[in-house]
Structure 1
């Protein structure tokens, strides 16, 4: 919730800076086009998903959802893939036997069900690739090109970065109490967007 709240506050500041009232949301052609494309190709025209935005508050919630999904949610399911799947019994990518039909399963049955060594190594390679930080990694909250071109963004970005730093400290403090630190939602390890 901390990261969601930080994104929500950031988006709120930006929306209220650029859209002085709800009518500005309704007449923004680029925003309409973006929402339309996401509705068609992201939400696949599901009837309970928004097709348009009418108010600043709707825009704030919508943009927060998109930013959270493309940063924090993606990091939570992507960044730990190698940690989880490198040990094949944690999450085998294939099974060589049908699922058991009763609870009495032998160790031999389990071992025979697991993939062979080549499949295991290939799965580990894929998980390592997906978990690896890209060369052009940009952490959540870093927007160097925006700050250079639009002075109005400096304040909201600086406050967002400050909130993210507070979250980092909280995570780091909590991690000192654990045998294994939880790094997947550490803001400094989270991409600004999905880069796979």
Structure 2
């Protein structure tokens, strides 16, 4: 597969992941699937928009760049030092780095949120009743959260999804860094010996 084709495959995978991360972050604004009366009762990490900005908006730019690389004239660039194909592959490395930063931001936020636990009403006040992820292995502690209903499994599920999906995004963008380096050094097709003389893969 040419490096441009590989980049297109990565871009195609990143877009649905970005959409899912955005949706997961939006759902976190509705603890337990319900609208809260006071926004200060929402877990703080939700307001940092890890899924919306980090793994969502910032991931769209790399994905679109990766998708566009395949549209360049693959075999017309081989052997031509002035061709923009190598520069396009080099620029994709920069966008891949942006993707790594965005997804990494979401990954760290999700890990912190999972370790800290959700903000909830414990019968006396709105607080964070869990410490150092102790609730993850002990479900009986979940009873400490009286409101919103089902807030613990709700946050646990959505932040876990964000953690996994942002981790996948980091890996995919990391692959494009390597792929972009190969494309910059070798070119896209014939220069690496993956295309025939007629430009076919």
Higher RCO (CA < 8 A, seq sep 6+): 2
